[in-house]
Each structure stands twice: as structure tokens, then as C-alpha cells.
Amino acid sequence: MMILRTTDTSPFGRKTRMAALHLGLMDRITMEPADALEADSALRRENPLGKMPVLTLENGRRIYDSRVILEHFDHLAGGGSIIPKDWDARLAVLTAQALADGVMDAAVLIVYEGRHRPAELHHKPWLDYQRGKIERALAQLAIAPPDPKQVNVGTIATACMLGYLDWRKQVDWRATTPALVDWLATFRTTAPAFDATEASGA
């Protein structure tokens, strides 16, 4: 069995869980909890960066981050399932994934600022800088989103990104980019794994 170390609340962990569920790989995976803040956590031993998710393969090899894990899952599923073999199509979905991952990075940093720094130390220009990344990316996505009737690393990451913004509310994306509301509704019907991996923790 492979071991996937993450939390239900990590948007990057959700990407991996979604992909595994969509590709029919969940029966080959054991889920283990992750703690990014514990000094001697298993997560830090398995990934020196202390970031989730981490996948431990059957041979003991550990791979990270979510992009590498999704590529491995695609390989296990025979290749070409969530990462196209055609080069132009591959570049398109990988770029879409990179954009969504960048938004999630900024969104997580905003959450961490509020959770781990005293209010009097919050730096508004820095928070505005992170929100600016999110807003610019959403504006671009609203103009040219990936096809919501396709399940690939780009659409999986985009859906997880929107789901995380829905949950943590770093920006009011539904009001500012209504085209993406329709996009997510269509993708949810395409990929039942999205709703099946919804976070329930705090």
C-alpha cells in the first residue's frame, strides 16, 4: 500500500485525493494525518520542507509535492488520463495547474497570517499583495477557463482552488467572477470526486 500523508483541509492534499479517487487508486492508498507545525512530526521527517502532501510508495520512496504525486498517479493509471500525452495539451493543463497552485499558495499564506501572527503584527500591504495574485488569476481564468467537462490536473487544481476560496473566503470570488461559478457547477457534475473530497474540518 502507498501512504498519503495530508489533511482533509489542505487544498493541495485535496488535489491528490481527488485524483486518486477519479483514477480508481484509493484502494491502493492508506491515508495518514499530517501536522506541519509539530517540530518532530512524521511530515517533516518525510519531507524536509514540512509541506503536505507526501506520498510514500510501496518501496519506501517518498515523493512530493502535489504536482509530482498527480503525475505519479497518472503514470499508475496508464498515462494520459489526467496529464495529456500530446505536448500542446500537456502544456495547457500543466499551466492551468500552476496558476491554480499559485492562487492556493497565496490563499494559504493569508490564512496563516491570520492564524499564526498576532493581529497587531498583520501587515496589510503584504496581505493585499497576496490577494492581488488571487484576483489577477481569477480575472484571467474567468476569461479563458479550462474545459470544465475534462478531468485533468488543470481542472482538478482549479476546482480545489475555488473550493478553498469558498471555504476560507480570502476573496469573494463568486461576486467578482460569476463566470467561474458556472464553471465550478459544470465541473462538479463532471467530477463527483470533487464533492466526495470536500473538507469538513476547521
- The CATH number that applies at residue 18 is 3.40.30.10
Domain boundary among 51, 76, 101: 76
Query: Which residues 6+ apart lie within 8 Å of 176 measured at CB?
Result: 135, 138, 139
Q: How many domains does the chain divide into? A: 2
Q: Would residue 140 count as lying in a domain?
A: yes
Q: Are 190 and 149 in contact (CB under 8 A)?
A: yes
**pTM metric for this prediction:** 0.95
Domain boundary among 32, 52, 76: 76
Beta-sheet pairing, 54-56 with 29-33: unpaired
Clarify whether residues 91 and 29 are in a common domain. Answer: no
Clarify whether residues 67 and 94 are in a common domain. Answer: no
Clarify whether residues 92 and 67 are in a common domain. Answer: no
Residue 38's domain comprises: 2-76
Q: Would residue 82 count as lying in a domain?
A: no
Clarify whether residues 71 and 102 are in a common domain. Answer: no
- Distance CA(11)–CA(166), nearest Å, equals 11
Clarify whether residues 130 and 183 are in a common domain. Answer: yes
Q: Would residue 146 count as lying in a domain?
A: yes
- Distance CA(85)–CA(125), nearest Å, equals 42
- Distance CA(5)–CA(114), nearest Å, equals 25
- The CATH number that applies at residue 117 is 1.20.1050.10
H helices within 66-201, ranges in order?
A: 66-76, 87-116, 124-143, 153-168, 173-176, 178-190, 193-196
User: Tens of pLDDT along the chain (202 residues)?
Assistant: 999 999 999 999 999 999 999 999 999 999 999 988 788 889 999 999 999 999 999 999 999 999 999 999 999 999 999 999 999 999 999 999 999 999 999 999 999 776 666 677 678 898 999 999 999 999 999 999 999 999 999 999 999 999 999 999 999 999 999 999 999 999 999 999 999 999 865 4
